[in-house]
Amino acid sequence: MWTSLEQGRYLHFVRHGHYRSDEMDEGKLTALGRKQARRAARHFAGLGIDSIASSDWIRAVETADILANELGLTTRRRYRVLREMLPTRLPMLAVPQARRKEGAQRIERIIQRFFRQCRGQRHEIMVSHGNLIRALVLRVSAGRAEGWYRLTADHASVTTFLVGERGIEVVGVNALGHLPAQLRTNF
């Protein structure tokens, strides 16, 4: 799958696994979510992952820890900037302007911080959240995040960006080949 790749930084954004949304579990992964994370590691087998980072929310941290353990990585970084967001207006939901503005600014900070060119080839995993990943896809491909809610980001899916000689490219969206049908969820 990953043969004869172009030079550049490959940012593989993985949406966290399925999680409990009730307050008592603080968004911890379910057994299904842990299984999805282990299967997501198969997507990267043999690729030579250089680093792994995640949002600091528990479901992303747990997913990143499972990926790191499966891939033999010891160092993981946590970033507040990679948390979930609502970067634009939504049909049928009032999102305060301050929250939308903060989300839009955070997308720009993520691009400035992580979407940098490098020498050679690097593969980095970023475990994050569906809204953020979908907004990044549209911001990179269309120049704005409007309409992100029309895209799908399944649990443990992989969306890949290449930062190379031609700038930032979207090279894969919501990849699910590593998950059998019975493990695919998005809510």
- Domains of the chain from N-terminus onward: 8-177 (3.40.50.1240)
| pLDDT surpassing 80 at residue 25 | no
Q: Of residues 6 and 169, which shows the higher confidence score?
A: 169
Mean pLDDT, range 131-140, rounded to an integer: 95
Q: Where does residue 48 rank: exposed (0-12), middle (13-18), buried (19+ CB within 10 A)? A: exposed
| pLDDT surpassing 90 at residue 102 | yes
Structure pTM?
Answer: 0.93
* pLDDT tens track for 56-72: 999 999 999 999 999 99
DSSP-H helix ranges across 82-129: 97-114
Mean pLDDT, range 112-135, rounded to an integer: 96
Taking phi over 0 as left and psi of -120 to 50 as alpha, with beta for the rest, 92 belongs to left
Instruction: Output the pLDDT for position 2.
Output: 52
DSSP-H helix ranges across the chain: 31-43, 58-71, 97-114, 130-142
